[in-house]
C-alpha cells in the first residue's frame, strides 16, 4: 500500500527545493569604472527584483579599454560591454560581427550615459607648475599616461592635446609635433588607466598623471587626498563612455532582456545620482546642476566634430602604422 505523505511534509519538501538558478550577466568594462559599477550593480539588482525580475548575478571584468574589446572579440562571453570610447565598441562590429554597426543608436545620447573630462594629477603643491597642456612639454617633465593603442584613456589624452593646439590656432602639423613631444615625455606607457595610476601614485614615477576626473576621485578615496592635487587644463575632449549589449552573446545565453534592462537603467535618476557620486558627469541636466560644485566648468570640444567619425579616428591615428606610431616610434 502506497503511503501518503502529510501535507506539512510536502510543503517542507517544496521549501527545500533549490531556487531557480540565477541568470548571470558579465559586464566587460574599463579600468577606472570599478567603483561606479560596484555601486550601480547593487542598485540595479534591487530595482530588478522590485520589478519582479528573476534572480540575477552580475559579474565584472576590468582592464584597458582596447584590451577588453579584444578579449570579447576573442571569446570572452560578455553580455554587455561598457567602454570609455566608441572605437573599442566599433571593433566588436568590425572584427567580430558581435553587434550591429548601428549599435550607438539603440540608447539615448549615442549610448553614452554620462561624460567626463581629462585632468592632470600633480604632486602636492604642484611643484613643477603644471597648469595647461603646454606645461607638460617643459624639458624634463615626466608625463604618466596609458598607451593610446590599448587604452581609451590614452586616446582621450592624445585627442585632447591635439585639440588644444587647434584651439590655440595651430595647424595639423603643429598638433602632430606637439602630441609627439608630449608622448615622448612618458617614462612608460601602461596598458590601462589603473596601471598608469599605480605607476604614478604607488611607484612614485612621473610628475603628472593624465587621466579622467572620476579616476582622480577614486585615487583620493583609495590613497587619501594629501599627496596630490587635481588641475583642469584649459581644453578637454568631452569623453563620452558608451555601452552596448553584445548581441551574439545574449542571444546564445538567452539574457537579452536582462542585459538591455541593465543598460537602460543607467539613464534612471538613481543611476545618474550614482554617476555624480562617482564624479562622472550625468546626462540629466538637473542632476548635473545639483552637483555643480564637484564639476568645474570646462571648455569641451566634440571629438567627432573635430576629428571626424570614430572609425576614421581609429584608422588615421591609432591603427598600426598610424599617426601615433609615426610620432612615437618613428615608423
- Which SS3 state, helix, strand or coil, does residue 243 take? strand
Q: Do both 194 and 213 map to the same domain?
A: yes
Alpha carbon of residue 320 to chain centroid? 23
Per-residue pLDDT of the chain (331 residues; tens, 9 = 90+): 444 434 333 333 333 334 457 899 999 998 889 899 999 999 999 999 999 999 999 999 998 888 899 999 999 999 999 998 899 899 999 998 999 999 999 999 999 999 999 999 999 999 999 999 999 999 999 999 999 998 888 999 999 999 999 999 999 999 999 999 999 999 999 988 889 999 999 999 999 999 999 988 889 989 998 889 999 999 999 999 999 999 999 999 999 999 999 999 999 999 999 999 999 999 999 999 999 999 999 999 999 999 999 999 999 999 999 999 999 986 5
Q: In this structure, are 320 and 178 located in the same domain?
A: yes
Residues 128, 122 contacting (CB under 8 angstroms): yes
Residue 184 placed within a domain: yes
| Residues 60 and 100 grouped into a single domain | yes
- Does residue 2 form part of some domain? no
Q: How many domains does the chain have?
A: 2
Beta strands in the chain (DSSP E): 23-30, 56-63, 80-82, 114-115, 118-123, 143-146, 189-190, 208-212, 228-231, 236-237, 243-245, 281-282, 300-301
User: Do 129 and 176 belong together in one domain?
Assistant: yes
Decide: 324 and 318 in contact? Cβ < 8 Å: yes
Decide if 244 contacts 105 (C-beta within 8 A).
no
| pLDDT (0 to 100) of residue 330 | 65
In a domain, 169, yes or no: yes
Burial class, 203, CB count within 10 angstroms (exposed 0-12 / middle 13-18 / buried 19+):
exposed
> For residue 317, what is the DSSP state?
I
Same domain, 36 and 106: yes
Does a structural domain hold residue 4?
A: no
99 and 245 assigned to the same domain: yes
Name the phi and psi angles at 91, rounded to 5. Answer: -60, -30
Domain that holds residue 126: 118-238+300-329
Note whether 209 and 314 are same-domain residues.
yes
Q: Are residues 148 and 228 in the same domain?
A: yes
210 and 156 within one domain: yes
Q: How far is C-alpha 312 from the geometric centre of its chain's CA atoms?
A: 20
pTM: 0.87
One domain for residues 324 and 228? yes
**C-alpha–C-alpha distance, residues 307 and 305, integer Å:** 6
Read off the CATH number of the domain in which 210 is found: 3.40.190.10
Whether residues 105 and 190 share a domain: the answer is no
Same domain, residue pair 80 and 27: yes
Amino acid at each position: 500500500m502506497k503511503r501518503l505523505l502529510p501535507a506539512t511534509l510536502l510543503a517542507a519538501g517544496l521549501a527545500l527545493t533549490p531556487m531557480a538558478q540565477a541568470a548571470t550577466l558579465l559586464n566587460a568594462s574599463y579600468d577606472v569604472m570599478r567603483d561606479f559599477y560596484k555601486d550601480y550593480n547593487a542598485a540595479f539588482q534591487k530595482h530588478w527584483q522590485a520589478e519582479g525580475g528573476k534572480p540575477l548575478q552580475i559579474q565584472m571584468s576590468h582592464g584597458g579599454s582596447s584590451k577588453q574589446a579584444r578579449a570579447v572579440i576573442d571569446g570572452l562571453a560578455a553580455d554587455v560591454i561598457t567602454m570609455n570610447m566608441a572605437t573599442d565598441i566599433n571593433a566588436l562590429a568590425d572584427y567580430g560581427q558581435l553587434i550591429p554597426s548601428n549599435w550607438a543608436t539603440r540608447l539615448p545620447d549615442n549610448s553614452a550615459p554620462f561624460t567626463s573630462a581629462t585632468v592632470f594629477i600633480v604632486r602636492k603643491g604642484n611643484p613643477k607648475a603644471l597648469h595647461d597642456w603646454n606645461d607638460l612639454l617643459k624639458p624634463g617633465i615626466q608625463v604618466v599616461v596609458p598607451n593610446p593603442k590599448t587604452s581609451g584613456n590614452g586616446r582621450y589624452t592624445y585627442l585632447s592635446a591635439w585639440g588644444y593646439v587647434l584651439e590655440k590656432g595651430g595647424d595639423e602639423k603643429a598638433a602632430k609635433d606637439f602630441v609627439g613631444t608630449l608622448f615622448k615625455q612618458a617614462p612608460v606607457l601602461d596598458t590601462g588607466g589603473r596601471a598608469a595610476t599605480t605607476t604614478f601614485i604607488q611607484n612614485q614615477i612621473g610628475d603628472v598623471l593624465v587621466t579622467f576626473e572620476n579616476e582622480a576621485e577614486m585615487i583620493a578615496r583609495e590613497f587619501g587626498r594629501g599627496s596630490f592635487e587635481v588641475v583642469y587644463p584649459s581644453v578637454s575632449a568631452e569623453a563620452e563612455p558608451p555601452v552596448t549589449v553584445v548581441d551574439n552573446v545574449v542571444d546564445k545565453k538567452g539574457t537579452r532582456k536582462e542585459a538591455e534592462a541593465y543598460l537602460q537603467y543607467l539613464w534612471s535618476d538613481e543611476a545618474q545620482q550614482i554617476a555624480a557620486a562617482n564624479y562622472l558627469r550625468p546626462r540629466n541636466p538637473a542632476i548635473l546642476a545639483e552637483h555643480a560644485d564637484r564639476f568645474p566648468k570646462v571648455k569641451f570640444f566634440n571629438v567627432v566634430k573635430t576629428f571626424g567619425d570614430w572609425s576614421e579616428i581609429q584608422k588615421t591615428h591609432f591603427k598600426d602604422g598610424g599617426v601615433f606610431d609615426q610620432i612615437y616610434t618613428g615608423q
